[in-house]
Amino acid sequence: MPALKGTVRLVPIGDYNSHRIEWGGMAKQARELYQVLKEKHNGYCTIEISQPRKPRTTGPKSQSAHFHGHCQQIAKETGHSLQEIKEYVKMECADWPFVQIGKRMVPKSEADLSTVEEAAAIEVTHRIAAELNITLKEE
């Protein structure tokens, strides 16, 4: 069963050492996941807690389109593939989030970036283009 990913609310219970989770629209999936956890892992699970973030924008004239357009232009000018350029940007971007898989840290998918992280990635494409003397078209 896939992991749940979304925004939930932690509500203090009593002395604030205990909390319950308000699942919102994910209640059904949470119950299904709990049954699997109960059967296979004695009810244990791993939880990551972070502040809610504003998701990146998508569609025409969005941050995502801006980032992909710059990567495509750099790829065309350098002869590298779009994927190679995107991986290079991930490595160069100090704000790019990483996830651990086994013993290695790998860059997260661009789809998981916040608006702030996407803006930083766009700035890195500007820097890379400048270093390579490539004039980017802002479309």
Q: What is the pLDDT of residues 101-123, one digit of tens each?
A: 888 888 988 888 888 888 999 99
Strands (E), the chain: 9-13, 18-22, 98-101, 104-107
pLDDT more than 90, % of the chain: 33
In whole angstroms, what is the distance from residue 11 CA to residue 106 CA? 33
- State the average pLDDT over residues 22-41: 81
Q: How confident is the model at residue 95 (pLDDT cuts 50, 70, 90)?
A: confident
Q: pLDDT tens digit string along 63-91?
A: 889 999 999 999 999 999 999 999 999 99
pLDDT of residue 89: 95
- State the average pLDDT over residues 26-43: 82
Mean pLDDT of the chain: 85
pLDDT of residue 7: 72
Q: How confident is the model at residue 53 (pLDDT cuts 50, 70, 90)?
A: low
pLDDT at 19 > cutoff 70 = yes
- The contacts of residue 97 (CB under 8 Å, 6+ apart) are 107, 108, 112, 113, 117
